[in-house]
């Protein structure tokens, strides 16, 4: 199995929120992927420096120093090594849940599903494009070759997500 970055996610309106859903097939077992999502040294390789306390209600704190974004929320779902959810919001900001789900893939490896939810009126295209770029970074880090944020991937996918978002209006 090879890691795949070819397909973009899907967008839908869920009540007063917009939701993006991205899936990736990874040639790594769930435990390896889980560690990338929860171990501080691993998080810094593909996402941002910080910590996610491994328990329901635990603190989720990440500092994206290049962009100035600070995540300071709580773990709202936790079932290792299958489910992790927290909001990528700071204090006083609306909830923007991130839901990471890991399942065994047919033929081996792991199918990762990332669901991103934002309040209606926020730029879901920007959010999904950012997470597409971070998924690319996650795949690279799993292979032992961490990379910097891929702005080209961000720009390309943002335009594609903008077109998909326009169809939801």
Give per-10-residue mean pLDDT for the chain (169 aa): 62 94 96 97 96 96 87 96 94 93 94 96 95 96 95 94 90
- Please classify residue 102 by burial: count the beta carbons closer than 10 Å to its beta carbon, then call 0-12 exposed, 13-18 middle and 19+ buried: buried
Specify whether the CB–CB gap between 161 and 125 falls below 8 A. Answer: yes
Which three-class secondary structure state does DSSP give residue 152? helix
Largest distance between two CA atoms of the chain: 44
Q: Please tell me the distance from the alpha carbon of residue 41 to that of residue 141, in angstroms, as a whole number.
A: 11
Set out the domains of the chain in order of their start, with CATH numbers. Answer: 10-166 (3.30.530.20)
Give alpha helix (H) positions in the chain.
30-38, 40-46, 124-142, 151-166
| Chain position carrying tokens 């594609």 | 160
Q: Please tell me the distance from the alpha carbon of residue 109 to that of residue 166, in angstroms, as a whole number.
A: 35
Buried b / exposed e across 9-18, counting CB within 10 Å, b at 16+? bebeeeeebb
Q: 0.85 cut: is pTM over it?
A: yes
Q: Is 50 left (phi over 0), alpha (psi -120 to 50) or beta?
A: left
pLDDT at position 98 is 97
pLDDT at position 6 is 57
Q: Which residues does residue 58 pair with via DSSP β-bridges, in sequence order?
A: none
Query: What are the residues whose beta carbons fall under 8 Å from the beta carbon of 135, sequence distance 6 or more?
Result: 5, 22, 24, 112, 114
Q: Please tell me the distance from the alpha carbon of residue 167 to that of residue 136, in angstroms, as a whole number.
A: 26
């Amino acid at each position: 199995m090879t890691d795949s970055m070819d397909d973009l996610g899907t967008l839908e309106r869920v009540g007063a929120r917009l939701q993006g859903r991205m899936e990736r097939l990874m040639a790594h077992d769930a435990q390896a992927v889980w560690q990338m999502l929860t171990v501080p040294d691993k998080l810094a390789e593909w996402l941002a420096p910080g910590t996610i306390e491994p328990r329901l209600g635990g603190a989720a704190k990440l500092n994206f120093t290049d962009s100035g974004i600070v995540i300071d929320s709580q773990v709202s779902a936790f079932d290792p090594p299958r489910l992790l959810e927290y909001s990528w919001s700071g204090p006083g900001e609306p909830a923007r849940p991130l839901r990471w789900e890991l399942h065994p893939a047919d033929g081996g490896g792991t199918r990762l599903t990332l669901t991103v939810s934002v309040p209606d009126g926020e730029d879901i295209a920007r959010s999904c494009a950012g997470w597409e770029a971070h998924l690319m970074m996650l795949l690279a880090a799993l292979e032992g070759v961490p990379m910097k944020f891929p702005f080209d991937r961000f720009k390309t996918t943002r335009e594609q997500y903008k077109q998909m978002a326009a169809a939801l209006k």
